[in-house]
């Protein structure tokens, strides 16, 4: 009896510890985000106060009003930045996905010379810090006259995302049994039809997650964009954050408000697509 | 009407040949089984017939026309995979109707043909389920249904039963046999299980290392195996095989003991010739416990100690040591035997097989 009690107590204790641990972890992950939202709603005095003010005293949407208010009232061309970000991120994501699907499929299904070397090469490109490329890229793009264009940013983000999408999509195609495409071919499909009718729908969740990753990378990227974009023609939202800094002051509240504006669409998109990320869809295809 | 003909069919991976120029004629509406141990090239051969594997050399004809360069969809075949290969994102109905949908058959006809197949295979209750919601046996039936719906000229089966448990396997085996009787199409069936091959097929093709060892009816390959390999492969428990040397009228088994030379082979071997002697477990039996074949003309009796027994209820497998090998004998109407007990065994030498030790080929002409 005592032993039972002891074990029950121990199990409860462990459960409490587990929950506390989870809470702490979530705190570390969520606090910065919450802090940003909070700071976008209160005056700089309160943001900078020492000791910190945890419970906001003076909440207002002034920063958002000012941001969309246009020049002269402390506003920035947020709609232009938003448009640029959207065009660049979506286009580069689509291109990266198309190349990633073609490449990933090839790596998953075909044997060819130097396959593992090429694959390793792709992965190595991820080891190069993006910022190290900014100067050479700037010089080349300047020569080509494509500085400050959507095209240059799309080019960069496609190059940045393709190795990753190939790697991810390769893994998902590998999980789709080869037999299925063969069965489809026997059922009357061409190779191309077999891909679209059978393999693509099954790898769909994987392709969607690769898409989310590619989109977020492009949406959030700052280092390279800050070098290559110059004006409202191509500046993206992360670069737009810099508009809130001036020689002597930083408008923390405005910056936080813009950050929130940036986070919202990314979060929405992720939520929408995540619903479709049903894993384990291939279960039941093969085996008894 | 679709006979399938293989002419000097070769499959080569790099410099390695896995199928060495095999010739085979499958008659229209015949059920033929390709059987052999793993790696013998039987699945590769089937995949070449299906068009899923390129042909390195030779010709494949379906219905009298060469199909070497036709894609799988143009060969008018259906295939049932070992893994079933059902489309997991489609329901049973969609799985079965998929080929017709791709072939742009009107929906009304698709429904009719799918329902027909479902009725044959008793699948009506499951039509709106996904493959993941089905048991192994049901999935297997859906895979067969998908094959039937196409009304192909040739059915190909690639080890379709090996993922099922033993009980279900027997059941589905019967269904396949019934299916063949019903749809009257040519069927080529790959398996490594000789029992499946024996029970299902009109003719069996035994393959080994990319060569065909023997083609024949189940009875032929069982009763008159052409090679030592076929003798050892077909039959369960397998044939007892022991190397021996011809010495006058006797066969001296490797390991010491000797048996009289079977009458049938008296003029077919010469003294000193090295042979492999084979006798099925059914043809060695504790005296009085064998098949009551009154005509046995060449029976020889030996007294030997029992090393171990495997009772199966209606019969008992009795293991004895003879020559250098452990031999299996089949005891009908069994009585309990103790290990070590010496019993009288009858060897029905009229059923014996002799193979050349050198080539492995039968010495029966």
ipTM of the complex: 0.84
Whether A44 and A151 share a structural domain? no
* Tokens coding B339: 């290990």
What the block records as the tokens of A265 is 């669409």
Identify whether the C-beta of residue A211 lies closer than 8 Å to the C-beta of residue A221. no
Using only C-alpha atoms, chain B has a radius of gyration, in whole angstroms, of 24
Asked whether residue A140 falls in the same domain as residue A61, the answer is: no
- Count of alpha carbons within 13 Å of A137, Cβ hemisphere only? 22
Instruction: Provide the CATH number for the domain around residue A191.
Output: 1.10.3720.10
Say which CATH topology domain B240-356 has.
OB fold (Dihydrolipoamide Acetyltransferase, E2P) (2.40.50)
Distance CA B187, CA B82 (A): 15
B164: chain A residues, CB-CB within 8 Å: 288
For the stretch B225-243, pLDDT in tens is 999 999 999 988 999 999 9
- The Cα A177–Cα A203 span in angstroms is 11
Same domain, A226 and A132: yes
Angle B189-B193-B199 (CA atoms, 0-180°, nearest 5)? Answer: 65
Give backbone dihedrals phi and psi of B60, rounded to 5 degrees, phi first: -115, 125
Check CB contact under 8 Å for B88 and A185: no
- Residue B243's DSSP bridge partners are B276
* Judgement on whether residues A130 and A227 belong to the same structural domain of the protein: yes
Q: To the nearest whole angstrom, how far is the Cα of A137 from the nearest Cα of chain B?
A: 44
- Classify residue A223 as exposed, middle or buried by CB count within 10 Å of its CB (0-12, 13-18, 19+): middle
Residue B7, C-beta contacts closer than 8 angstroms, at least 6 positions apart: B23, B58, B59, B60, B61
Q: Dig out the tokens for A209 from the structure.
A: 């997650």
For residues A236 and A11, give the distance between their C-alpha atoms in angstroms, rounded to a whole number. Answer: 51
Distance of CA B87 to the CA centre of its chain: 29
How far does the CA of residue A131 sit from the closest CA of chain B (Å)? 43
pLDDT at A69 over 80: no
In a domain, A225, yes or no: yes
> What's the number of CA atoms in the CB half-sphere (13 Å) around residue B264?
17
Chain region(s) in chain B for CATH 2.40.50.140: 240-356
Q: Are residues A39 and A113 in the same domain?
A: no
| The Cα angle at residue A175 between residues A170 and A180, in degrees rounded to 5 | 110
Q: Which of the listed residues A68, A94, A119 is the one where a domain comes to its end? A: A68
Q: Given this model, what pLDDT does residue B1 score?
A: 62
Task: Please check whether residues A87 and A213 belong to one and the same domain.
Answer: yes
Least Cα distance to B125 among B91, B149, B97, B159 occurs for: B91
Instruction: Judge whether B169 is closer than 8 Å to chain A, CB to CB.
Output: no
Same domain, A268 and A168: yes
Residue A74 binned pLDDT confidence (cut-offs 50, 70, 90): low
Which is higher by pLDDT, A62 or A36? A36
Closest CA to B232 of B279, B294, B283: B279
Instruction: Convert the pLDDT of each residue in A225-283 to its tens digit.
Output: 998 888 888 899 999 888 888 878 888 888 899 999 899 888 888 888 777 665 544 44
Closest residue in chain B to residue A177, using alpha carbons only: B85
B179's CB contacts (< 8 A; 6+ apart) are: B120, B144, B148
B186 pairs with which residues across the strands? B154
Among the partner residues A180, A182, A287, nearest to B163 by beta-carbon distance = A287
Distances (CA, A) of B37 to A106, B205, B229, B230, B362: 32, 12, 11, 11, 20
Domain containing residue A21? 2-68
Residue in B71, B139, B164 closest to A185 by CB: B71
Distance CA B253, CA B180 (A): 45
pLDDT, position B221: 93
Specify whether A47 is located in the same domain as A161.
no
Residue written as token pair 């080539």: B359
Q: What is the average pLDDT across A53-75? A: 76
- The SS3 assignment for B244 reads strand
Q: How many CB atoms lie within 10 A of CB B332?
A: 15
Cα gap B192→B207, rounded to integer Å:
10
- Chain B CB contacts of A284 under 8 Å are 86, 88, 130-134, 139
Mean pLDDT (chain B, rounded): 90
For B71, the 3-state DSSP assignment is coil
Give the number of beta-carbon pairs within 8 Å between A and B: 94
Query: Both A36 and A13 in a single domain?
Result: yes
* Contact residues, B window 121-160, toward A, CB-based 8 Å cutoff: 130-137, 139-140, 146, 150
- What are the DSSP E strand ranges found in chain B? 4-13, 16-26, 31-35, 57-62, 65-66, 77-80, 154-158, 186-191, 203-208, 211-216, 240-247, 250-253, 258-260, 274-279, 284-286, 299-311, 315-322, 325-332, 342-348, 353-356
Question: Which residues of chain B are modeled with pLDDT < 70?
Answer: 1, 292-296
**Which chain A residue shows the shortest CA-CA distance from B165?**
A288
Domain ranges in chain B with CATH number 3.40.50.300? 4-233
Chain B interface disruption, residue of A186, A196, A281, most B CBs within 10 A: A186
- The mean predicted confidence, pLDDT, of chain A is 87
Is there a contact between A148 and A227 (Cβ–Cβ < 8 Å)?
no
Taking each helix axis from N to C terminus, what angle separates A252-274 and A2-39, rounded to the nearest 10 degrees?
120
Q: SS3 for A191?
A: helix
From A109's Cα to the closest Cα of chain B, the distance in A is 14
Shortest distance between the Cα of A116 and any Cα of chain B, in A, equals 20
Put simply, whether B171 touches A (Cβ < 8 Å) is no
Nearest to A213, CA basis, from A263, A170, A162, A176: A162
**Whether A284 and B131 lie within 8 Å, measured CB to CB:** yes
Q: Is residue A96 part of a domain?
A: yes
The rounded distance, in Å, linking the Cα atoms of A79 and A62 is 17
Is residue A119 located within the same domain as residue A38?
no
User: What's the CA gap between B175 and B152, in Å, rounded?
Assistant: 18
Of all residues in chain A, the one with the smallest CA distance to B155 is: A186
pLDDT band at A215 (very low <50, low <70, confident <90, very high): very high
pLDDT of residue A285: 47
Answer whether residue A194 shows pLDDT above 70. Answer: yes
As given in the structure block, the two tokens for residue A210 are 């690769």
Question: Which of A12, A38, A68 is the C-terminal boundary of a domain?
Answer: A68
Q: How many domains does chain A have?
A: 2
pTM of the complete model beyond 0.90: no
- pLDDT recorded at residue A288: 37
**B51 chain-A contacts, CB cut-off 8 A:** 185-186
How remote is the C-alpha of B285 from its chain's centroid?
26
Domain boundary among A50, A68, A86: A68
The β-bridge relationship of strands B274-279 and B284-286 is: unpaired
Same domain, A63 and A177: no
Confidence of residue A51 (pLDDT cuts 50, 70, 90): confident
Please give the CATH number for the structural domain made up of B4-233. 3.40.50.300
The CA distance from B212 to the nearest CA of chain A, in Å, is 26
Closest partner CB to B85 (pick from A193, A285, A288) = A285
The verdict on a CB contact (< 8 Å) between A188 and B99 is yes
Are A110 and A52 members of one domain? no
Cβ-Cβ contacts under 8 Å, A286 against chain B: 81, 83-85
Chain B window 268-327: which residues touch A at a Cβ cutoff of 8 Å? none
């Amino acid at each position: 009896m005592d032993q039972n009690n002891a074990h029950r107590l121990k199990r409860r204790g462990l459960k409490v510890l587990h929950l506390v641990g989870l809470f702490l972890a979530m705190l570390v992950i969520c606090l910065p985000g919450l802090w940003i939202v909070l700071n976008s709603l209160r005056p700089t005095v309160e943001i900078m106060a020492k000791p910190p003010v945890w419970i906001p005293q003076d909440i207002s949407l002034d920063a958002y009003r000012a941001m969309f208010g246009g020049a002269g009232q402390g506003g920035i061309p947020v709609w232009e930045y938003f448009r640029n970000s959207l065009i660049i991120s979506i286009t580069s994501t689509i291109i990266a996905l198309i190349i990633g699907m073609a490449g990933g499929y090839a790596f998953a299904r075909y044997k060819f010379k130097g396959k593992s070397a090429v694959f390793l090469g792709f992965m190595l490109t991820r080891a190069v810090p993006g910022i190290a490329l900014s100067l050479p890229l700037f010089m080349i793009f300047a020569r080509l006259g494509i500085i400050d264009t959507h095209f240059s940013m799309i080019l960069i983000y496609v190059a940045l995302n393709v190795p990753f999408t190939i790697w991810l999509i390769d893994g998902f195609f590998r999980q789709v049994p080869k037999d299925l495409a063969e069965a489809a071919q026997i059922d009357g499909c061409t190779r191309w039809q077999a891909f679209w009718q059978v393999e693509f729908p099954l790898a769909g969740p994987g392709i969607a997650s690769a898409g989310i990753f590619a989109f977020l990378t492009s949406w959030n990227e700052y280092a390279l964009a800050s070098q290559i974009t110059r004006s409202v023609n191509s500046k993206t939202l992360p670069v737009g954050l810099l508009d809130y800094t001036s020689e002597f002051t930083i408008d923390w509240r405005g910056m936080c408000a813009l950050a929130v504006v940036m986070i919202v669409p990314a979060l929405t998109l992720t939520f929408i697509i995540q619903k479709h990320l049903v894993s384990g869809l291939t279960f039941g295809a093969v085996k008894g | 009407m679709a006979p399938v003909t293989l002419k000097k069919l070769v499959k080569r991976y790099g410099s390695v040949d896995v199928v060495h120029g095999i010739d085979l004629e499958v008659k229209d509406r015949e059920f033929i089984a390709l059987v052999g141990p793993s790696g013998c090239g039987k699945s590769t051969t089937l995949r070449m017939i299906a068009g899923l594997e390129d042909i390195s050399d030779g010709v494949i004809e379906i219905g009298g026309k060469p199909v070497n360069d036709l894609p799988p969809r143009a060969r008018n075949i259906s295939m049932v995979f070992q893994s079933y290969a059902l489309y997991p994102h489609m329901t049973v109905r969609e799985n079965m109707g998929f080929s017709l949908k791709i072939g742009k058959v009107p929906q009304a006809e698709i429904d009719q043909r799918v329902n027909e197949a479902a009725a044959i295979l008793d699948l009506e209750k499951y039509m709106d389920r996904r493959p993941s919601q089905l048991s192994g046996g049901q999935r297997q039936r859906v895979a067969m249904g998908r094959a039937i719906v196409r009304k192909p000229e040739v059915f190909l089966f690639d080890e379709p039963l090996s993922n099922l448990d033993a009980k279900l396997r027997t059941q589905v085996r019967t269904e396949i046999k019934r299916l063949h009787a019903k749809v009257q199409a040519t069927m080529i069936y790959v398996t490594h299980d000789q029992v499946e091959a024996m029970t299902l097929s009109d003719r069996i093709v035994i393959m080994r290392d990319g060569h065909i060892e023997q083609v024949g009816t189940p009875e032929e390959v069982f009763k008159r195996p052409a090679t030592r390999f076929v003798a050892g492969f077909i039959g369960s428990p397998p044939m007892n095989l022991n190397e021996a040397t011809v010495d006058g009228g006797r066969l001296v088994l490797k390991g010491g003991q000797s048996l009289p030379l079977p009458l049938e082979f008296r003029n077919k071997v010469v003294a000193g010739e090295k042979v492999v002697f084979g006798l099925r477990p059914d043809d060695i039996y504790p005296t009085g416990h064998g098949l009551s074949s009154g005509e046995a003309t060449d029976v020889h009796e030996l007294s030997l100690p029992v090393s171990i027994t495997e009772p199966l209820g209606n019969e008992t497998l009795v293991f004895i040591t003879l020559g250098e090998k452990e031999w299996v004998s089949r005891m009908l109407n069994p009585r309990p035997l103790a290990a070590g007990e010496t019993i009288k065994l009858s060897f029905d030498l009229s059923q014996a097989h002799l193979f050349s030790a050198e080539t492995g080929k039968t010495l029966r002409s």
